[in-house]
Each structure stands twice: as structure tokens, then as C-alpha cells.
Amino acid sequence: MQRTQLSLAVLAAVAAFTLAGCGEEKKPAPVVAAPPAAPAPVVVKLGHVGPLTGGIAHLGKDNENGARLAVDEANAKGLKLGGKSVKLELLTEDDQADPKVGTTVAQKLVDAKVAGVVGHLNSGVTIPASSIYKQAGIPMISGSATNPQLTEQGFNNVFRVVGRDDQQGPAIASYLQSEVKPKTVAVIDDATAYGEGLANEVEKTLKAAGVKVLPREKGSDKTADFKAILTKIKGKKPDAVFYGGMDATGGPLLKQGRELGIKAVFAFGDGACTDKMKELAGDAAEGLLCSQAGLPVQAANKQFLDAYKAKFKIDPILYAPFTYDAANLLIEAMKKADSADPAKYLPELAKSSYDGASGHIEFDAKGDRKDAEMTIFTMKGGKIEPIAIIKGGKTTKFEDFIKAAAPAAPAAPAAEAPKAAAEPAKPAEPAKK
């Protein structure tokens, strides 16, 4: 009996299951198509070149940092060209401050199809490399090369955002002549396009002012021992010594000069106008004079200085504001042309009118920066400090220049007139002479 009841229960369950299965079929959930993936942004390559190894690698890295900051900021904001999203990529190369290496890496960037180049640092490397970029039709902007020959070649794709040596040389020479008043000056250079070219301009200006200039002495950009040259100079008792070269050689020259008992004022161009001179020359660096073909780092806009410090955890050294501006000029020209094609954006680059970290930038017909300022510095307490700005032949104390450039404070709101009648105003006293 129990078996019969169990069998009937099983049959009933099977029947119920079968009937349920014969009911309305469950429809499968509709498949929703995934939205199409956004197209990958178009990659536009920009190049940066400078010495990233060797004695002036600190300056090359400073230049690279400036360009990288501009690229990263543009990517963060988002960039569209020709209706397509664009991602900028910075390709950076080490030219070792060597002209042969410079032309090799320039060709490497051309082969990588970069749309523009920020660099190079040294004039002696930038000038031969510029021919490679000219042949490829790629715009290049140097933030530090100052030899006039760079823009005297007639290349329409070559620009710089610093002044020229035929502006910088007369500036430091004139400052020497007016402030130090030397009767005799010794001039030494490092036999590079930059060092020799700058020294030539200094010598020319001093001679025109009636200052006696001793026969030129030469080292190289790798000279470590200047004692033979300095001993020769010491016997002629110059009141000032000018060296055309970089800090890597300028520091040892200054230190050895003081060790030999030379009491002359030592002066340098922008390549040796760095805090590293203290590290290389020790206490001998105190009181040196030097020039820069542009406004000093301290005068760069606060937005740039803060962003640089936040990103790299250090302060910019020398040329970073200029390479930052150079990269931004390339980017802004592309935006105006709505294209990264060099042939299309080059005309926009040539007619740039841009307010950057280093001030207002426009180019003349040669690709030089119009109305470039020159700055004179001294070493004080182990730090390079600006003391004067020279523009259009006029010298202004740095503190006065900064005051004049500062935005005017907003006017205080006018006080409400008192309700009670005011006393009649007293007549004004006559002005005192």
C-alpha cells in the first residue's frame, strides 16, 4: 500500500512538471550591443634635444623639464585638431653638446616624424642640426642658443625665444664698462660657436668704448686646467676677465684664477650664469658678474614656477621658462591652424603673439624674439641674483623692473561722506622744492 501511494505521488509530480513545461516559453533577454569604443587619440610627436649627459647635463635636463611640463599640461586639458582628439608625445634625445651627435639625433627625430622640435641647447650643436630640420620642413625653436648665425641662415622654420649674442655681448660689456670701469680686460673663450661668438661681441663693444683688450686666449669646452692661460694673463694685470663658455669650464677657470692671486672682476655669459658656479668655484664665485639673454627665472610667471616645482620637486635653473614657452608656441600654432602638419601650422608659428612664462613673445622676419631683454647677475651668498635688466640700450635696476611689471593694486573703495557737514577744507600748502 505504501509503495502504491509513493508511486502515485511520483507520477503526480512528473505530470505537474510536464504541464508546467508545456506552458508559455521563457523568452531570452535581449542582447544589448555595447556602445562603440571611442576612437584612440591621434598621437602627435614633439621632439626635445639637449645634453642629458656630460658636464652641462643639469642644464639639458632643465630644458627638457620645461618642454615636458608644457606637453603634459596640454594633454591634461585635452587637445583636438581637425576634429580628432590628439595626444602629444615628447621624444627626448641626448646630443651630448656635440655637433656630430646633434645632427645624428636630429635625423633620428625626423625619421620618427616629429611635428616640431624644442632645442637644441648649445649654439654649436643647434646650428648644424637646424639644417636637418630645414630639409625635412620641421619647425624648431631653441630656448637657449644665442649665436646670431642660427637665424642668419635664412631658414623660415627656425626660431628662438632668447636674445642673441650680439645683444647679450654688448649688454654685459657695457655693464662692465660703466660699473667696473676697467682699463684693461682679458678675454678667453672655449672655442665653441657659442663661447667664441659671445666673446667676440664683448671684445668688440669694449674696444669701441676705448677699453684695452688683451690678445685673445682660448681653451676648449673640455678644458680642466687653465693655469697656463691664467698665469700669462696675471702678468698683464687686467682689471676684468671675461670668459665665453659654460659653467662646467667657467667654474674651474674662476677657482684657479683666484688661487693664482688674480684680483680682477670675472664676468661670464649665460652659459656660466648658474648657481653651479658656486659648487665648481667655491668661495671664488662670490661677486662674479654674468648675463642672460632674456629675463631671469625669478621673473618668470608664478603659474609656471609653481607648476614646475610641483611636478619636478626642484626649482628651474636657467632656460626652462624658455623651453616651456617654446613647446607652448608649437602647440598654440597647431591649434590656430587646426593641424599638426608642419606646412600648415608654420605660418601661424611665424606670426605668434603669445604671453608666456618668460613674457610676451613675437618673432621678427628672421625668427628672433622681438625686444628681448638682457639680464645682468651677480653671485651673492652662493646664489646667482639678478641686479639689472637691459632693454633697448636702457639699464634698469632689477627691483625697479619688477615693481614696474607688477600689476597695480586695486583702488580702495571710496569712503562714504559723513552725514554731518564737514569743516571747510584748508587751503593746500605750496609744494616744497
pLDDT of 4 strictly over 90: no
pLDDT digits (tens, 9 = 90+) for 128-170: 999 999 999 999 999 999 999 999 999 999 999 999 989 999 9
pLDDT of residue 30: 63
pLDDT of residue 417: 40
Are residue 103 and residue 192 in the same domain, yes or no? no
Number of Cβ atoms within 10 Å of the Cβ of 339:
17
Are residue 49 and residue 151 in the same domain, yes or no? yes
Q: How many domains does the chain have?
A: 2
Are residue 359 and residue 387 in the same domain, yes or no? no
pLDDT band at 429 (very low <50, low <70, confident <90, very high): very low
Rounded Cα gap, residues 124 and 120, in angstroms: 9
Residue 288: inside a domain: yes
Residue 10: inside a domain: no
Strands (E), 161-268: 184-189, 212-213, 217-218, 240-244, 265-268
Residue 426: inside a domain: no
pLDDT of residue 33: 61
Residue 179: inside a domain: yes
Residue with more model confidence, 30 or 355 = 355
Percent of the chain clearing pLDDT 90 (strictly above): 78
189: which 3 cell numbers? 673663450
pLDDT of residue 31: 61
> What's the average model confidence in pLDDT over 85-112?
97
pLDDT of residue 248: 94
pLDDT of 407 strictly over 60: no
Residue 328: inside a domain: yes
pLDDT digits (tens, 9 = 90+) for 39-88: 789 999 999 999 999 999 999 999 999 999 999 999 999 999 999 999 99
Number of Cβ atoms within 10 Å of the Cβ of 387:
17
CB–CB of 170/214 below 8 Å?
A: no
Are residue 132 and residue 281 in the same domain, yes or no? no
Q: What CATH number does residue 223 fall under?
A: 3.40.50.2300
Are residue 82 and residue 139 in the same domain, yes or no? yes
**Considering 348, 370, 392, which residue would you say is the last residue of a domain?**
370
pLDDT digits (tens, 9 = 90+) for 332-348: 999 999 999 999 999 99
Q: Which domain holds residue 196?
A: 166-292+376-405
Percent of the chain clearing pLDDT 70 (strictly above): 85
Query: What are the residues whose beta carbons fall under 8 Å from the beta carbon of 341, sequence distance 6 or more?
Result: 115
pLDDT band at 225 (very low <50, low <70, confident <90, very high): very high
Say which DSSP state 369 is in: B
pLDDT of residue 3: 44
Are residue 347 and residue 240 in the same domain, yes or no? no
pLDDT digits (tens, 9 = 90+) for 5-34: 444 444 444 444 444 444 445 556 666 666
Are residue 231 and residue 342 in the same domain, yes or no? no
Q: Cα dist. 390→168, 173, 174, 371, 397 in Å?
A: 9, 12, 10, 10, 9
Rounded Cα gap, residues 245 and 232, in angstroms: 19
Are residue 401 and residue 256 in the same domain, yes or no? yes
What is the average pLDDT score of the chain? 88
Are residue 266 and residue 397 in the same domain, yes or no? yes
